A and B are shown apart, each in its own frame.
Chain A
Amino acid sequence: MIKFKIRRQDGDRVWHETFSVEETPGMSVLEALFFVQERLDGGLCFRYSCRGAVCGSCAMLINMVPRLACRTQVSDAQSEMTVDAVKWGALARPVAKVGKDEILIEPLPNMKVIRDLVVDMEHFYELLDYIKPWISAGEEVPEGGNLMSPKVEQKIEAYTNCILCATCYGACPVAGRDETYLGPAALAKAWRFYLDPREKEKDKRARLEAVNNQSGVWGCDVVFKCTAICPKKVTPTQGILAQRRQIPKNKIKNIFNRGKKSED
């Protein structure tokens, strides 16, 4: 039996409840939560869909690290420490175990809790919407399709793998103190469209201008937490820095990037 200490919330009432779950081989944290919901307390709520780390529904804080519950093995989480690290914010990686024999489950930080582990994602989606995350394709589809070199395709692919799970947003210290900050996912997405040769130059420039401020690429603390925790190996920080380099008049501010090779 493994103990899960779960942060519950219903309106203003917040409490922690510990459930004992029968572990089966290869059990994920998501499966453990289903065990609780189906056998112990039908009221426990959390989002889910694919259970295969592609839909991005089940992001939550597991032992203080923002992660997908489906992708996190109970056996791994069990060997980690559950620290009272609220003052540090979310951790970028788990801490090795020293003591307590339970797994701590909490909702994703930096978002309003609706109930239990379900958070309000609307603000996250609005921030994404702000960067106009789409190709402004014309009506005519070119004969035979657009051509693109495999090299360019692979460069963009590093950013299209984002599943919008918001673990990066939950890990981001800037998002924690400034809700106007667009956050790692939206800014990484902005870079994805900048890289795409199918996007028109004027739309690229407009998007770059839209993130050329403290709520955009200049707001980033450059602590790489988002990059460290991304379950799909997307590198938002690198995308943010790359956009800073595209903004000539602000190049002088770009202190974090001195001596690094340009990605152009």
Chain B
Amino acid sequence: MITHDIIVVGGGLAGLRAALEAHLRGADVAVISKVHPIRSHSVAAQGGINASLGKDDSWEAHALDTVKGSDYLADQDAVEVMCRDAPGRVLEMEHWGTLFSRTPDGHIAQRPFGGAGFPRTCYAGDRTGHNLLHTLHEQVMRAGVKIYLEWLVTRLVVDKGRCTGLIAMHTPSSKLEVFGAKATVLATGGYGRIYQRSTNAIINRGYGISLAYHAGVPLQDMEFVQFHPTTLLGSNILMTEGARGEGGYLYNKLHERFMSIYAHDMMELAPRDIVARSIQTEIDEGRGFEGGYVHLDITHLGEKKIEERLGGIRQISIDFAGIDPVKEPIPVQPGQHYSMGGVPCDVNGATPLDGLYAAGECACVSVHGANRLGGNSLLETIVFGKRAGEHAAGYVAGIAMPGESPYLDELDREKEAISQLMGEGGENFAVVRDELRSVMQQDVGVFRNRTGLQRAVDTVRMLRERGRNVRVKSSATSFNFELLNAIELKGMLELGQVIAEGALVREESRGAHYRTDFLERDDEQWLKHTLAYYAPVGPRLEYKDVTITQFQPKKREY
């Protein structure tokens, strides 16, 4: 058994920031991750990170934009914390070496982003995530934090209402090991890959979120799934909102700037839920191009500006679509991008389970409510990563390492579960997975209604049954990806079920959850957070109040 005061699961921005903070505060902390930290999905974030650094900007203005963007489902006390902490966290990253783009007078450059009343998105070209993640990894190396590379955490150990560690599989050897910890921080990112079209890395399967679900922690607001308006046709790689922030236009096949119909004032820079629905409407009503897409046109920005500020998406367009955005418009369509929901936690990352913290996309504080604004997810990782690390370090200082805990029983249970997965015959994980991705895309997407959601609920229940019959044929003991995929598929199916059932029950339209059979937001009935508790057949749904401080819910117009 390996022990640390604190174990952080996941090596993306939130995980590294939590680990660094806990280390700086004297805790014995380690990171465990299924990939090397710099392979984490944070690296793919493009457009930027919000902070009210501008002279005429303020954290209050940032908070108002965030709350309005969230369609009033965000907890306003948490939003206030995020927006107040933002400038400090961003400047700290700069000090540690992040190479931000600069204004002519040498300050961090900021660009306009969707749903924001001020150009407050700090950026590093269109590789902001890459620059932040590499910097944090450098500082974590400098600090000498221990990193367990290529381990898949397969379950949390819970003893008498407290998380006392975890079981993980060492990918190079397929061996299971017990890790004991006074505190565990989940920073495992999102689940994009349960959708057919997603900007997310292939590794984003949401398994970390399902670990908490199995440990008895409810999942919050999972029906709120962000679809990014502009993903590259074919591969669905992200085409940053920064492309529109820098002045890009959206055109349908009639060469109309159709956003004028949907968001007269903000046009292409309306929040993501609105732009995604607008594009999808154009496509559904026959004004998209053959194959289901519209044009994102940045040709008028000129090669110099494109190369300087959008060089990354230019290269991606050339490599993955054979199109140079300097010369031609980019073919784009909406695709799953982000999870507003996740493991519920307070502003210090503490979840309802003692000893368990969460930060980043896997968490739900909730600062994004029903729709996240662009530039707020990178911010969330470093603000709440730091706070979780700080709070966890304080928590572990006063307590002893858990002594007697059912580690060996849990280890035996896990060994048994894995040996049952092995064998000939049965289902192929990829077949079940693809059916899940297809039904989520079809029926739990940008537009939803009762018929489709009921079909999704039924299909996913059936797929969960079939999922029990998945068998792993490869007996490789090193990097057995068939086995890793089969293990994670179980979590994907459970999350699909939580999302679909939550969406079916929520009979209103709010932010990214849009019901064509219930077009209006219904504050009377639904101004509340969903909590989905694990039960063998399907989730048990409960609800809790939203925290409202200074911004009373209003109709959202852009």
| Stretch from A92-100, A159-167, A172-180, A255-263 forming part of the interface with B | A159-167
List chain B residues, Cβ under 8 A from A133.
Answer: 138, 141
| Stretch from A14-22, A35-43, A246-254 forming part of the interface with B | A35-43
Taking CB atoms and an 8 Å cut-off, the chain B residues in 108-153 that contact chain A are 108, 125, 127, 130-131, 134-135, 138-139, 141-142
Taking CB atoms and an 8 Å cut-off, the chain B residues in 282-317 that contact chain A are 308, 312, 315-316
Is A71 an interface residue, CB under 8 A from the partner?
Answer: yes
- A45 contacts B39, CB within 8 Å? no
Nearest residue, chain A, Cβ from B46? A54
- B478 contacts A196, CB within 8 Å? no
Whole-angstrom distance between the alpha carbons of A246 and B370 in the complex?
54
List chain A residues, Cβ under 8 A from B202.
Answer: 48-51
Q: Which of B39, B125, B320 interacts with A56 by CB under 8 Å?
A: B39
B interface footprint on A122-152 (CB within 8 Å = 1, 0 otherwise): 0001000100111111000110111111100
Q: Which of B106, B141, B320 interacts with A149 by CB under 8 Å?
A: B106
List chain B residues, Cβ under 8 A from A153.
Answer: 99-102
Nearest residue, chain B, Cβ from A24? B234
List chain A residues, Cβ under 8 A from B475.
Answer: 43
Q: Which of B39, B92, B139 interacts with A134 by CB under 8 Å?
A: B139
Whole-angstrom distance between the alpha carbons of A72 and B400 in the complex?
52
- B97 contacts A55, CB within 8 Å? no
Q: Determine which residue in B125, B473, B481 has the highest number of CB atoms from chain A within 10 A of its CB, and name it.
A: B481
Is B480 an interface residue, CB under 8 A from the partner?
Answer: yes
B interface footprint on A69-97 (CB within 8 Å = 1, 0 otherwise): 00100000000000000000000000000
Is A204 an interface residue, CB under 8 A from the partner?
Answer: no
- B482 contacts A56, CB within 8 Å? no
List chain A residues, Cβ under 8 A from B492.
Answer: none
List chain B residues, Cβ under 8 A from A71.
Answer: 319-320
List chain B residues, Cβ under 8 A from A42.
Answer: 472-474, 481-482
- A37 contacts B139, CB within 8 Å? no
Q: Count chain A residues whose beta carbon lies closer than 8 angstroms to a beta carbon of B.
A: 55
Is B505 an interface residue, CB under 8 A from the partner?
Answer: no
Taking CB atoms and an 8 Å cut-off, the chain B residues in 338-373 that contact chain A are none
Is B84 an interface residue, CB under 8 A from the partner?
Answer: no
Nearest residue, chain A, Cβ from B319? A71
Is A115 an interface residue, CB under 8 A from the partner?
Answer: yes
Nearest residue, chain B, Cβ from A140? B95
Is A108 an interface residue, CB under 8 A from the partner?
Answer: no
- A50 contacts B43, CB within 8 Å? yes
Task: Return B375 CB to nearest CB of chain A, in Å.
Answer: 17
Whole-angstrom distance between the alpha carbons of A42 and B101 in the complex?
44
Is B281 an interface residue, CB under 8 A from the partner?
Answer: no
Task: Return B423 CB to nearest CB of chain A, in Å.
Answer: 12
List chain B residues, Cβ under 8 A from A52.
Answer: 44, 201, 235, 237-238, 316, 320
Is A57 an interface residue, CB under 8 A from the partner?
Answer: yes
List chain A residues, Cβ under 8 A from B99.
Answer: 153, 156-157, 160, 196
Task: Return A145 CB to nearest CB of chain B, in Å.
Answer: 4
Task: Return A164 CB to nearest CB of chain B, in Å.
Answer: 6
List chain B residues, Cβ under 8 A from A38.
Answer: 428-430
Is A53 an interface residue, CB under 8 A from the partner?
Answer: yes
Nearest residue, chain A, Cβ from B94? A145
Nearest residue, chain A, Cβ from B472? A42
Is B96 an interface residue, CB under 8 A from the partner?
Answer: yes
Is B479 an interface residue, CB under 8 A from the partner?
Answer: yes
- B38 contacts A51, CB within 8 Å? no
Q: Which of B36, B95, B235 interacts with A121 by CB under 8 Å?
A: B36
- B472 contacts A49, CB within 8 Å? no
Is A114 an interface residue, CB under 8 A from the partner?
Answer: yes
Nearest residue, chain A, Cβ from B431? A38
Task: Return B508 CB to nearest CB of chain A, in Å.
Answer: 35
A interface footprint on B173-204 (CB within 8 Å = 1, 0 otherwise): 00000000000000000000000000001110
Is A234 an interface residue, CB under 8 A from the partner?
Answer: no
List chain A residues, Cβ under 8 A from B398.
Answer: none
Q: Which of B39, B172, B316 interacts with A114 by CB under 8 Å?
A: B172
- B38 contacts A163, CB within 8 Å? yes
Taking CB atoms and an 8 Å cut-off, the chain A residues in 163-204 that contact chain B are 163-164, 196, 198
Task: Return B38 CB to nearest CB of chain A, in Å.
Answer: 6
Is B107 an interface residue, CB under 8 A from the partner?
Answer: yes
- B478 contacts A45, CB within 8 Å? yes
Whole-angstrom distance between the alpha carbons of A55 and B139 in the complex?
19
- A43 contacts B35, CB within 8 Å? no
Task: Return B350 CB to nearest CB of chain A, in Å.
Answer: 27
Is A118 an interface residue, CB under 8 A from the partner?
Answer: yes
Is B403 an interface residue, CB under 8 A from the partner?
Answer: no
Taking CB atoms and an 8 Å cut-off, the chain B residues in 224-282 that contact chain A are 234-235, 237-238
- B104 contacts A150, CB within 8 Å? yes
Task: Return A230 CB to nearest CB of chain B, in Å.
Answer: 12
Whole-angstrom distance between the alpha carbons of A163 and B44 in the complex?
11
List chain B residues, Cβ under 8 A from A156.
Answer: 99
Q: Which of A50, A51, A57, A135 interacts with B97 by CB under 8 Å?
A: A135
Is B476 an interface residue, CB under 8 A from the partner?
Answer: yes
Is B535 an interface residue, CB under 8 A from the partner?
Answer: no
Task: Return A45 CB to nearest CB of chain B, in Å.
Answer: 4
List chain B residues, Cβ under 8 A from A45.
Answer: 476, 478-481
List chain B residues, Cβ under 8 A from A137.
Answer: 95-97, 139
- B479 contacts A114, CB within 8 Å? yes
- A49 contacts B35, CB within 8 Å? yes
Beyond A49-B201, A49-B202, A121-B36, whether A147 also contacts B95 by CB under 8 A is: no
What are 6 inter-chain pairs, A to B, with CB distance below 8 A?
A39-B430, A41-B474, A50-B202, A52-B320, A150-B104, A150-B106
Q: Closest 7 CB pairs between A and B?
A: A42-B482, A147-B106, A135-B97, A134-B138, A38-B430, A42-B474, A45-B479
Give 6 new A-B contacts, CB below 8 A, not counting A50-B43, A137-B97: A43-B482, A49-B202, A55-B41, A116-B479, A134-B96, A145-B94
Residues of chain B whose beta carbon lies under 8 Å from any beta carbon of chain A? 35-36, 38-41, 43-44, 88, 91-92, 94-97, 99-108, 125, 127, 130-131, 134-135, 138-139, 141-142, 172, 201-203, 234-235, 237-238, 308, 312, 315-316, 319-321, 428-430, 472-476, 478-482
Residues of chain A whose beta carbon lies under 8 Å from any beta carbon of chain B? 10, 25-26, 28, 37-39, 41-43, 45, 47-57, 71, 114-116, 118, 121, 125, 129, 132-137, 141-142, 144-150, 153-154, 156-157, 160-161, 163-164, 196, 198
